[in-house]
Structure 1
Amino acid sequence: MRYPIIKILSAQVWKSTIKNRSTLILIAIFNCMLLASLLSGYSHMLRQQTAVNDFSHEVRERWENNPDKHPHRMAHYGYVVFRQKFPLSFFDPGMDSYLGNAVFLEAHRQNTVNFSEASLSNGLLRFGEISAGLILQMLLPLLLFFWGFDLIARERENGTLRILLTQGISWPELVAGKALGLFRLSLCVLVPAFVAGGLLMIINEQTWQLPQAVWRFAVLGFAYAIYCFIIALLAVYVSAKSKNAKSALIKLIGIWLLFTLILPKVSQVAGQSLFPSPSKIAFDTAVEAELIKHGDSHNPNDPHYKALKDSLLTAYGVDSTHKLPFNYSGYVMREGERLSAETYGRHQAQLVGIYEKQQNAVRITALLNPFIAIKNLSMALAGTDYATYNDFQNQVEAYRYKMAQTLNELQIKHISNKVKSSADKRAIISHKYWEEFPDFTHRFPPFTRVFSNEIISVLSILLWAAGLFLLIKISSKHFKAF
């Protein structure tokens, strides 16, 4: 293909479309919508982050200001941690509004992450949030289809298509030139959105604490650019294949409905049907049933812990737990915490495995649907996908387990076996130990892991771009000028 010819055709599409007043109005409307959604999302993110920081500071102060007490009482006093917002979450909120934001941590129990925005808002949220990501993923393709449905079909109707072809322009050059011109029009919406988003990201202090956010934003912009070029190629290809502009428009609207509404919903239903997940009640019941088999650490006559006591007495050559060189109750609590954590972790891993299979059913359809690909990739880069949330849950559980076992170790080391109850003055340790225990720090997954999680989406976007080029080259032999 000859680039000068493609460049001339691209310029012709640009000039003929941009001079239309309705085009300028649509561009202005889209830019206003994007700017409003970016500012709204950014403001909401800052409010959420401020609330998280304030509550986290308050929780930490209360934890450190606890008086001297028995460490196991402190374990049941518990801790509250909050989920941080990634600096790009304002661009594409993804699943953030439907996922919990706070979790209470205590010994012997793994609580769920609660207080999602969806659970605290009205029913309108189920229709989705108007965000920059949603506008670029769903509405911008519709705009490009509106601009591109007649780029070739109309010339066929007017009879000018034969004139172009008789001047030595090949079909691949014609389609590529028209698609490039349509892509240039999409940049009138895409570039302002990313310029505004980049400025908002730069003025956010949290961005400078997470340098990977800059790299994610750059990759996000590149991905959306390829997505828009795929949509442009698809629009021009359908226009070239259609007999007239009307049939091209109908086909493109059908493709838009298939990509944005039908396939995503079908893939979700298929994933849930093929890999059904247990309800919360069924999950908790299964965990509790297995824990009962392991025994009750609070029951001194439990067979498992009685055997543990006998083995300790034999090992240390004593006839009573009071003669052990460490606190026996703390030792039992440590063992019970280990067993409960292992049991919960095993069941949680199985549950997450089911969720991943459901999501893989959706991810695979990305090879057939570029909308799914850009949606998954956008959420992952913005830090608002399920994988980021699951990583937060894993960090929370690791912190909870460390907290519980640290307090158990304090009991083992500092509490005498002669103490009859936690109310005894000899069972109380200094509050300085609460201050020494580190605060929870939420760390976001690295860029490399995010990229590897969404490798199917990346391949889908690249394959769609390459596949459309190949399809146009092969199909150009069967295109008709009239």
Structure 2
Amino acid sequence: MKKRSPLFTIAAHEYVMIYRDRIVMLLAMIAWILLAAAAYTGWERGQQTALQKNRAAAMFRHEWEEQQANPHSAAHFGTYLFKPNTFLSIYDYGLNRYLGVTYRVEAHVQHEVNQAEAQATDSQLRFGELSVSMVLQLLMPLLILLITYSTITREREGNTLPLLLMQGIQPEQLIWGKIAGNYAIVLTIVIPAFILLGLPVFQQGSQPDIPVRYGLFAAAYLVYFFVFTSIGTLVSAWSRSSGAAMVACIGIWFLLSVLAPRLTVRLIDERHPLPSRYELNKRIAQGYSKGMNGDGTSIQRHQRYLDSTLKKYGVDSVKQLPVNFDGLSMQYGEDYNTKVYEHYNGEVEEIIELQQEQLEKAGLGSPFIAIQQVSMGLSGSDYYHHRSFHHQAKKYRDEFIRILNMNLANSGAQYLTYDYKAGPDFFKRMKDFTYNPPPAKNAVAWHHLAWLALGAWCVLVMILVNLTAKQLIKIKL
């Protein structure tokens, strides 16, 4: 019969001891209950939000198709686009509560995505919101540290540690065995939860790569839990007593998961501040009115365009044009407005990307920051997915307004006033907005620094175990 390795024996013994601990099982039950409650709440809220958005979108589309109006008046009437929820956002709300869900399509104005839920639920968000990601990111590490803090000190306090070492067990085998046993308990807790959370993921078919995203989502959290399992075991190896180890573990949890993220965000915001919405709109308005890069004022640009149009058609006045100059002129203004907006909004996006880069680098100092970015990215509730929606909505808006202006321009020279009206047949032919979510590979690429930080933490704890286990145990005998 093949003899079991000491590492396997220690891991199995540790697993059985923890499994029989009623307090640990009680904590596990609490974790399962919180995950179930968070998943149910997220699912219900996601269903209600999606239903409200679909109803609103259908209503605005119906109003748009049934109108009979001058195309430019219709452009001012506009419509609304709604950012759809990604399926995994029911597990990780991410920034969705703060970045808004509604995009206004309107002539002459480039809107941002507005109507953030945080505006109506400030007090609730201020004290935190129960979600699957919150349980996995914040509460599970605390549970893991409460399981592992006494794994070595228990042997030391029971005077069994010298006996284990005298039997020929290597210090590295002892610590790795303890880590394996504790991590097996963690897997016993989270694997059933991940399976249950994954069942609706594989049953829906709205986005083909959702199963891939969920697989990466679960894998990233398993790495995250391994890091905290190793941290708790190493702290236990360094500590003289279980009480001291517990205090140290709680302090590390508070530092890495509570204090560090908040301080990091504040420092990044102070180092790379964003302009206010008022300041951004003011710059855009001035850029359009005064012009950029020597383009001249809006009046000068309009006169140049008029002169070039008259020259193009070989006529002397607007009334002689075979087209409606109002439509052409408004589209020319829209094109320049888009140019100005993209310039100043691009500056804001560069600052946000710099903030994002600094935040993900900070993941090297806190695994909580790293997993938070990875989780939001895979769930589609991060800044980059929001930006993707905004860019697609803006592109749709620009083409939407162009079609209306060109319809007015081609309505004939006799319609220099706004007597011309288009009917439902024309408005129905205008395509509805369809959002194409980014693929999973983009979600990984956008957060590659956070993935690297999470991997670096995994490698770091493995190196610490291999380099310091023997010395730590000998010192603390």
Task: Provide the rounded CA distance (Å) in 2 between the counterparts of 1:91 and 1:170.
Answer: 42
Aligned with 1:210: secondary structure? coil
- Equivalent residues in 2 for 1:10-25 (5 A)? 10-25=11-26
Shift of 1:380: 0.8
Match of 1:446 in 2: 439
Alignment of structure 1 residues 13-412 onto 2, 5 Å: 13-67=14-68, 69-203=69-203, 207-294=204-291, 302-412=299-409
List per-residue Cα deviations over 1:362-420 (Å, max 9, x = no partner): 1111012111111111111111111111111111111110100111111122x222324
- Within the candidate set 410, 414, 418, 1:418 is matched to 414
**Aligned pair count?**
469
CA contact 2:149–2:235 (8 Å) conserved in 1? yes
TM-score (norm 1): 0.94
Match of 1:455 among 437, 442, 448: 448
- List per-residue Cα deviations over 1:184-203 (Å, max 9, x = no partner): 11123311221221123344
Counterpart residue identity of residue 80, structure 1: Y
Report how far residue 122 of structure 1 moved. Answer: 4.8
* Backbone CA RMSD of aligned residues: 1.7
Q: Distance in 2 between matches of 1:5 and 1:89?
A: 43
Which 4+ residue blocks in structure 1 deviate beyond 4 angstroms? none
Contact 1:136/1:190 (<8 A) preserved: no
- For residues 226 and 122 of structure 1, the distance between their equivalents in structure 2, rounded to whole angstroms, comes to 33
Residue type of the alignment partner of 1:177: G
**What is the distance in 2 between the residues matched to 1:122 and 1:449?**
31
Secondary structure of 1:27's match? helix
Q: 1: distance between equivalents of 2:175 and 2:37?
A: 35
Contact 2:361 2:453 in 1 (8 A): no
Give the corresponding residue for 2:423: 430
Q: For the Cα contact (< 8 Å) 2:172–2:470, is it kept in 1?
A: no
**SS in structure 2 opposite 1:129?**
coil
Give the whole-Å Cα distance in 2 for the aligned partners of 1:41 and 1:301: 49
Q: Which amino acid aligns with 1:444?
A: P
Q: Distance in 1 between matches of 2:311 and 2:447?
A: 54
Q: Which amino acid aligns with 1:130?
A: L
Distance 1:358 1:130 in 2: 26
2:471 is matched with which residue?
A: 478
Structure 1 unaligned regions, length at least 5: none
In structure 2, stretches of 5+ residues that fail to align are none
Structure-2 change in CA distance of 1:232 and 1:430 (3 Å): same
Residue identity (%) = 29
Separation in 2, partners of 1:279, 1:135: 33
- 1:64/1:435 contact within 8 Å kept: yes
User: Could you tell me how far apart the structure 1 residues matched to 2:317 and 2:379 are?
Assistant: 58
Q: Which moved more, 1:308-317 or 1:249-258?
A: 308-317
Give the secondary structure class of the aligned counterpart of 1:208.
coil
Partner SS, residue 104 of structure 1: strand
Give the TM-score normalised by the residue count of structure 2. 0.95
Q: Deviations over 1:432-454 (max 9, x none)?
A: 12111110112211111111011
Is the contact between residue 104 and residue 111 of structure 1 (CA under 8 Å) also seen in structure 2?
Answer: yes
Structure 1 residues 30 and 392: CA distance shift in structure 2, 3 A: same
Relative to 1, partners in 2 of residues 1:233 and 1:407: Cα closer, same or farther, differing over 3 Å? same
